[in-house]
Amino acid sequence: MEFHKIEGGVCAAKGFICNGIHCGIRKNKSKKDLALVVAEKRCAAAAVYTQNLVKGAPIAVTKRNIANGYAQAIIVNSGNANTCNAGGEAIAEEMCALVEKHTGIGKEDVIVASTGVIGQPLDLAPIAGGMNELVAGLGKNNDAANEAIMTTDTVKKQTAIAFELDGKRCVIGCMAKGSGMIHPNMATMLVFVTTDVNISPAMLQKAVSKDVESSFNMISIDGDTSTNDMLCVMASGLAGNEEIIKEDENYKVFAEALHTVTTDMCKRIAKDGEGATKLLECNVSGAATHTDAVKAAKGVITSSLFKAAMFGADANWGRVLCAVGYSGAQTDVEKIGVSFSSKAGKITVCENGTGVEFSEDEAKKVLSEDEIVIDVTLQDGKESATAWGCDLTYDYVRINGDYRT
């Protein structure tokens, strides 16, 4: 099946419109802080959430609202996480009620999300005051909506692809935010996916739950798991394909298309890690079990020492072996191989658990690019896994040293 990248983001699929504005939650008037996505009809809906025991109030409300498998709108604010503050759930519910008041969509059919500083009261007044403008401007405003959910992100993160099911053109679009406080499983990410594929709520949830195992749960920026993460998907069904109600060939194509979108977003989020200058992709192959492959890949990506080495373009391969060794992966360390590659070339630095001669100058060139691939071969079996992360820089400390101010 061919998947074609197309223009647009969360409103690329049939049946969706969106907008984003500055309503006053954030002090900086140049920063949008309120987004709304509306579907023309009730959609099949599915979601996964952060595994942090401390969860933002919007998560509890969203869980209740889409427990029946349906939703028709998404409202999101940035600048305040609505977490660990008195009356948080009531505030999130009132945000849903505001959507109902201004659009006619039932408040129980609204997905609500917040991102920003934890532990500060969220004032509803700016949100209520901005709803007329927000709703009046609804359209295919992908950029405005995407900007409104950003916090320390430096770039907008959105994508869309087109493909066919039953001879019908189908689209999956997405917008996301995420830059810091990102660590498996699910991190400070808000990911909103929309599609016009006709699929039942049960099969949509199955696809989403399976997908995150090898997509968003394989990202780490800084080792901190957020309180507010969620990945939500709404499917309008307007593409006109026969409804997907079982794991047939159409389901497989949809799952593959969804994974194409989510892995694209994983890379965008990892590359835009707070203070990051490089996207790191670690591919582990030859593991005895898939669990071992996952542990090894995550171990490398989450190693602060290795991330710092990548910032300095230092081919310190010993830090890769060290990370694999403490990752919990069962492997024969005397068989491990390591290589680094980028658009500047590829260099092998370790074979059979031992260093090999290589040019430091060549390694410096390879590791000075902004996208680095680390290939780790374990020679224990046939299983593999991929994880994404970024380098650890001076700017990460600067950004988080004064985050609240």
Closest to 141 in 3D by CA, of 36, 25, 268, 71: 36
Beta bridge partners of 177: 190
Closest to 2 in 3D by CA, of 165, 157, 194, 236: 165
How sure is the predictor about 396, in pLDDT bands with cuts at 50, 70 and 90?
confident
Instruction: Report the percentage of the chain scoring pLDDT > 70.
Output: 93
Other C-beta atoms lying within 10 Å of the C-beta of residue 318 = 15
How sure is the predictor about 187, in pLDDT bands with cuts at 50, 70 and 90?
very low
Q: What is the pLDDT of residues 360-378, one digit of tens each?
A: 999 999 999 999 999 999 9
Q: What is the pLDDT of residues 273-317, one digit of tens each?
A: 777 899 999 999 999 999 999 999 999 999 999 999 999 999 999
Instruction: Report the percentage of the chain scoring pLDDT > 90.
Output: 78
Lowest model confidence (mean pLDDT) among 117-126, 159-168, 185-194, 378-387: 185-194
pLDDT at position 123: 94
CA distance 18 to 75: 10
3-state secondary structure of 65: helix
How far does CA 337 lie from the centroid of its chain?
A: 30
3-state secondary structure of 206: helix
How sure is the predictor about 185, in pLDDT bands with cuts at 50, 70 and 90?
very low
Residue 20 host element (H or E): strand 16-21
CA distance 75 to 80: 14
Q: Which of 62, 151, 152, 188 is catalytic?
A: 188
Residue 339 predicted with pLDDT over 50: yes
Q: Over the chain, what is the mean pLDDT?
A: 92
Token pair belonging to 201: 């709520």
What's the start-to-end Cα distance of the chain, in Å? 48
Report pTM.
Answer: 0.85
- The CATH number given to 279-401 is 3.10.20.340
pLDDT at position 270: 84
Looking up tokens 């999956």 gives 172
Question: Who has greater pLDDT, 219 or 195?
Answer: 195
**Domain residue spans of the chain:** 4-271, 279-401
CATH architecture of the domain covering 4-271? 4-Layer Sandwich (3.60)
188 is catalytic: yes
